[in-house]
Amino acid sequence: MATRKNGQTMRFASPPSILATVSVVGPREGQGPMSGWFDVVKPDRLLGQKSWEKAECKMVEEAVELLMTKSGVRRSELDFLLAGDLLNQIISASFAARTIDVPYFGLYGACSTIAEALALGSALIDGGFATNVCAVSSSHHDTAERQYRFPTEFGTQRPPTAQWTATAAGAVMLGPRGKGKLEVTHATIGRVVDNGMKDPFDMGTAMAPAAADTIAAHFRDTGRDPDAYDFVVTGDLGAVGQPLADELLKKQGVNLEDRFIDCGKMIYDETQDAHAGGSGCGCSASVFAGYLAKNLEQGKFERILLVCTGALHSVTTYQQGESIPGIAHAVSVERSG
């Protein structure tokens, strides 16, 4: 079989359909500008659970449960679950997988995880290894804060470059070509790019070079121009990282102009005190599953490039003086022809 890959980009010969998407978010996200596009807005951050970690896991379980209902894919018809999150040992994904009870691939790409899952899931379907695959990722503000930064009770003041980890899960059911209004046509897999940044309160700057690297690779590999897309949507560079990525792209001759938007800048508004914007695996996953997928379904957009970005550091690497490596994976999603 001839390779379906050029450079860093996989091309799906029979592009998998998106059968359904689901977003489940917390109260703060439900008060933001994306509010009307989310499927479920939870009134509190604990979801009736005893810990934030159990609440995050519950969000994933609920998102996938609702996804099976919306897509009409039964558990017995769901070939694989591809999932991941920010927590140590990706416990939100793995404990949800225990409940969901289908063959499971655990992934870690920090906030790039939903794009990694969509890329691998699409390859499994297009390669003939699956009929239906669920891609899901999540984050929770309080689980991330206490793991990565400070005990949440401290109420530590955050610098303006900091992003706010979203409490959100986004899930996508991929299925055979022709079964849904949207399809995944390409996936560009990122390299790890590190510009030497060490400040975990400015991850937008740390991730911007990886985003620019993957976006440039996508256009190079596919021969497409930016005007092939309604939007190139990063997630989540925020207000500090996005202009830097834009500048890095312009230096390479890629001018996205007003097509360049960012999930981190979209999920909260200026009154919500989120500083540089949203972040977390659930931010781009829920904005994609909500606003972006629904606007594509409704025909308001024809084609987008979703570029999810991840910061691959840990508390340990920070303590040992390491810089923050970034990665970005891109998937091209369009209305079925």
**Contact positions vs its own copies (CB under 8 A):** 1-5, 8, 10, 13-14, 50-51, 53-54, 79-80, 84, 86-91, 94-95, 97-98, 101-110, 116, 120, 123-124, 126-131, 147, 189-194, 312-317, 320, 322, 325, 327
Which one-letter DSSP state was computed for residue 63?
H
The greatest distance separating any two alpha carbons of the chain, rounded to the nearest whole angstrom, comes to: 57
Measured from the CB atom, is 182 or 189 closer to its own copies?
Answer: 189
Question: Exposed e or buried b for every residue in 174-206, given b needs 16+ CB within 10 A?
Answer: bbbbebbebbbbbbbbbeebbbebeebebbbbb
List, in order, residues 6 or more apart from 127 with CB less than 8 Å away. none
* Dihedral-angle region of residue 280 (phi above 0 means left; psi in -120 to 50 means alpha; beta otherwise): left
Query: Smallest gap, in angstroms, from Cβ of residue 228 to its own copies?
Result: 21
Query: Smallest gap, in angstroms, from Cβ of residue 230 to its own copies?
Result: 26
Measured from the CB atom, is 77 or 269 closer to its own copies?
Answer: 77
Query: Smallest gap, in angstroms, from Cβ of residue 314 to its own copies?
Result: 4
Q: Angle CA(41)–CA(42)–CA(46) in degrees, nearest 5?
A: 155
Measured from the CB atom, is 104 or 201 closer to its own copies?
Answer: 104
Query: Smallest gap, in angstroms, from Cβ of residue 270 to its own copies?
Result: 31
DSSP letters spanning 10-58: EE-SSPPEEEEEEEEE-HHHHTSTTGGG-SEE-SSSSTT-SSHHHHHHH
Q: Is the distance from CB of 245 to CB of 234 less than 8 angstroms?
A: yes
Measured from the CB atom, is 105 or 201 closer to its own copies?
Answer: 105
Query: Smallest gap, in angstroms, from Cβ of residue 203 to its own copies?
Result: 13
Measured from the CB atom, is 24 or 328 closer to its own copies?
Answer: 328
Cα distance between residue 248 and residue 215, in whole Å: 10
Q: Is the distance from CB of 306 to CB of 297 less than 8 angstroms?
A: no
Handedness of CA 81, 84, 88, 91 (dihedral sign): negative
225 preceded by a cis bond (ω within 30 of 0): no
* Dihedral-angle region of residue 180 (phi above 0 means left; psi in -120 to 50 means alpha; beta otherwise): beta
Measured from the CB atom, is 88 or 298 closer to its own copies?
Answer: 88
Query: Smallest gap, in angstroms, from Cβ of residue 125 to its own copies?
Result: 9
Measured from the CB atom, is 53 or 236 closer to its own copies?
Answer: 53
Cα 252 vs. chain centroid, distance in angstroms? 25
Query: Smallest gap, in angstroms, from Cβ of residue 50 to its own copies?
Result: 8
Measured from the CB atom, is 102 or 228 closer to its own copies?
Answer: 102
DSSP letters spanning 151-162: -GGG-----TT-
Measured from the CB atom, is 31 or 317 closer to its own copies?
Answer: 317
Query: Smallest gap, in angstroms, from Cβ of residue 60 to its own copies?
Result: 13
Cα distance between residue 255 and residue 179, in whole Å: 34
Closest alpha carbon to 125 in 67, 183, 65, 83? 183
Query: Smallest gap, in angstroms, from Cβ of residue 143 to its own copies?
Result: 8
